[in-house]
Structure 1
Amino acid sequence: MKKHVLSMLLALGAAALTQTVSAAGVASAGADKSAVCAACHGADGNSPAPSFPKIAGLGERYILKQLRDIQAWDKASGSDKASTGRPVVEMTGLLSGLTDQDLQDIAAHYADQTIQLSGSKELTVKINSGEDVDALKLGQQVYRAGNEETGVPACTGCHSPTGVGNAPAGYPHLGGQYAQYIEKQLRAFRAGERTNDGDQMIMRLAAKHLSDAEIKSLANYIAGLH
């Protein structure tokens, strides 16, 4: 029952996100405006290093929301920063001079690109019982079926069985992303350090009961998902 209730909340969150984030960017215009992004994320959105996420093909709504949230946090000051947008220190000042149309155009440009597959690795993780298990198998299990015992929902409901996400609802394409980046974000959502997933706390609820082993396994599995 707990799993079904959480799945319903995630679905309602998707509807809310669809209603609140509009995108009307022009990809060709965004290509000319994305030079500031290309230095870290690559001209085609496939960053050369896992310290910066791949943003190619994540979905226009999702990319635009992140750009708006990062810009909002950057422009906030004092105590407002604690509850505003999404803090990404590496992007401090990079979006401050851009208009909302600029953000829409950049989002459209990167949404038109194709993400390159990072690939999964063969590795083992130690679960809470102390047993070493195959990380790929555990990652696949949690991604596709969740963990009913702890109330973790399957990732497929929002991000699709193949990891392509749900662009109209604002859920990003995850398949092929750097495992290190996915792991970092899941840990941030679990710890409440990343909070720009809406009032429904979609990702915070999904990650709340993930173990360290499940997070590492999920990230590794998703990196090779296509």
Structure 2
Amino acid sequence: MRKLIAGVVLGVSLTATAWGAGDPEAGEANAGVCAGCHGQNGAQPTIASYPRLAELGETYLYRQLSYIKSGERAIAAMTGILDNLSDQDLQDLAAYFDSQDMPIGQASPELVGLGEKLYRGGNMASGVPSCAACHSPQGKGNEPAGYPRLSGQTPEYVSAQLKAYRDGSRDGGPEASIMMDVAGSLTDSEIEALASYVSGLH
């Protein structure tokens, strides 16, 4: 698994779009359509299972928008929404949402112990690596590598995405291979604990 992760990390690094390519002010002009699902400034989604877009990381956001537009990452609710946007528009949207503030949630007290253990140390018995290695100890992500911020994300969204990686239904983009490998060894209770923990991590 370490070789797989190392190989994908190298490949993603070599193909990464330089961050900082977008214009937040230009992005704001196209962001209104996003508010219907993701809330004002992308920080308060109208449904808990929708992601918070604020401060996720410009590189990550741009990649995901590109995958969604091309159909490589299929999201039924976003079908057609990005069709008329250029590549620069996507970069500008990514820059805009990354410039917004991510609110911090609160982890469930009974899940903090397991969540913290998994996030910081993984599970050696099942081969789950530490989440902190890629997403940083404070959950702020890794902008150059395009790994998203997890701190403050809704637990419902994190849980849904980990399960989607685990069952293979989220496989868009080369970096998804990392998460499919990681999530494949997570149990439902571990996913619940991790999702809760990162929502309050800061």
Q: TM-score range by the shorter chain?
A: over 0.9
What are the residue-to-residue correspondences of 1:1-226 with 2, within 5 Å? 6-22=1-17, 23=19, 24-49=21-46, 50-73=48-71, 85-123=72-110, 135-198=111-174, 201-226=177-202
* Counterpart Cα distance in 2 of 1:197 and 1:145: 26
Structure-2 residue corresponding to 1:129: none
When residues 174 and 211 of structure 1 are mapped into structure 2, their CA distance, relative to the original with a 3 A threshold, is same
CA RMSD of aligned residues (A): 1.5
Cα distance 1:155–1:184, how it changes in 2: closer, same or farther (>3 A)?
same
- Structure 1 contact 197–203 (Cα < 8 Å) conserved: no
TM-score normalised by L of structure 2 = 0.93
Q: Deviations over 1:162-184 (max 9, x none)?
A: 10010111000001100000000
Going from structure 1 to structure 2, the CA distance change for 1:199 and 1:30 (only over 3 Å counts) comes to: closer
Q: Is the 8 A contact 1:197 1:204 kept in 2?
A: no
Give the whole-Å Cα distance in 1 for the aligned partners of 2:158 and 2:192.
9
Deviation of the 1:197 alpha carbon:
4.5
2:40 is paired with a residue whose SS is coil
The residue type equivalent to 2:190 in the other structure is E
1:21 positional shift: 3.1
Q: Which runs of 5+ in 1 are unaligned?
A: 1-5, 74-84, 124-134
SS in 2 for 1:90: helix
Taking the aligned partners of 1:108 and 1:182, their CA distance within structure 2 comes to 22
User: Structure 2 CA distance, aligned partners of 1:185 and 1:200?
Assistant: 11
The residue type equivalent to 2:94 in the other structure is A
Change (3 A) 1:222 1:199: closer
Gaps of 5+ in 2: none
| Deviation of 1:15 (Å) | 3.0
Structure 1 Cα separation of the partners of residues 109 and 81 of structure 2: 37
TM-score, normalised to structure 1's length? 0.83
Q: Residues 224 and 105 of structure 1: is their aligned pair in 2 closer, same or farther, counting only changes over 3 Å?
A: same
CA–CA distance in structure 2, aligned partners of residues 199 and 217 of structure 1:
23
Alignment partners' CA distance in 1, 2:190 and 2:147: 21
Cα distance in structure 2, aligned partners of 1:112 and 1:15: 27
Give the distance between the partners of 2:3 and 2:142, measured in 1 at CA: 16
Seq. identity, %: 43
